[in-house]
């Protein structure tokens, strides 16, 4: 029988690595995206490259992050990737990726056209939240994922932006 999540966390707490996840929740939250999910024991050095199943070679990641983790024999790459791509606010990682995906798809930052507009930004914020709730209600997740992917989030942002622009007579780039 392999190591439990608590044993892996206990090992790394003693070695004082610096991650965004709070150690009190590290046994149930992904060390990269912060989502509370079933966690996979991810090898720092893959078994196929000589890595062991010991706590010093395991981190805890959700399935999505595990699939994106680097598979390399030098452990520095996994740690660099983990520190460079993690977020400090739980449950926001994939939404932030959706904003980044919007920039890739549309070549600009979302909602920038509203910065200079003479609109009550508090009212615009409330309107944006209501539209986003409506748009998110019209989406679905890919089978087996459980969360929206970044490209779907980018599409929701685009729809919200389009509806706000239409309501306020603002031309989108």
Confidence of residue 142 (pLDDT cuts 50, 70, 90): confident
Q: Is 60 helix (H, G, I), strand (E, B) or coil?
A: strand
Report the chain's mean pLDDT, rounded to a whole number: 89
Same-domain check for residues 101 and 77: no
Residue that is last in its domain, among 32, 57, 85:
85
Determine the structural domain holding residue 71 and report its residue range.
Answer: 5-85
**105 falls within a domain:** yes
Segment 150-164 shows an average pLDDT of 93
DSSP conformational letter for 141: P
Give 113: exposed, middle or buried? Use CB within 10 Å, 0-12, 13-18, 19+. middle
For residue range 36-68, what is the model confidence (pLDDT) as tens digits?
888 999 999 999 999 999 999 999 999 989 999
What is the spatial distance between Cα 157 and Cα 136, in angstroms, rounded to a whole number? Answer: 9
Same domain, residue pair 99 and 160: yes
**Where a domain ends, among 85, 112, 146?**
85
Sign of CA dihedral 29, 30, 33, 36: negative
Number of domains composing the chain: 2
Asked which of 35, 62, 85 is the last residue of a domain, the reply is: 85
- Based on the fold, state whether residues 79 and 13 are members of the same structural domain: yes
Assigned token pair, 73: 């024999």
Alpha helices in 2-92, H assignment, sequence order: 5-14, 63-68, 75-85
């Amino acid at each position: 029988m392999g190591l439990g999540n608590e044993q892996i966390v206990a090992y790394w707490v003693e070695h004082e690595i610096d991650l965004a996840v709070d150690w009190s929740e590290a046994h149930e939250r992904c060390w990269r995206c912060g989502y509370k999910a079933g966690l996979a024991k991810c090898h720092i050095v893959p078994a196929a490259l000589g890595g062991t199943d010991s706590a010093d070679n395991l981190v805890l990641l959700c399935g999505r992050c595990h699939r994106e983790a680097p598979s390399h024999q030098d452990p520095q790459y996994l740690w660099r990737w983990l520190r460079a791509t993690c977020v400090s606010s739980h449950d926001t990682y994939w939404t932030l990726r959706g904003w980044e995906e919007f920039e890739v798809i549309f070549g600009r930052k979302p909602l920038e056209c509203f910065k200079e507009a003479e609109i009550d930004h508090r009212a615009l914020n409330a309107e944006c939240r209501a539209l986003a709730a409506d748009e998110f209600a019209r989406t679905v997740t890919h089978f087996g994922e459980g969360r929206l992917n970044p490209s779907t989030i980018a599409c929701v942002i685009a729809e919200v932006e389009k509806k706000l622009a239409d309501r306020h007579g603002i031309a989108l780039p």
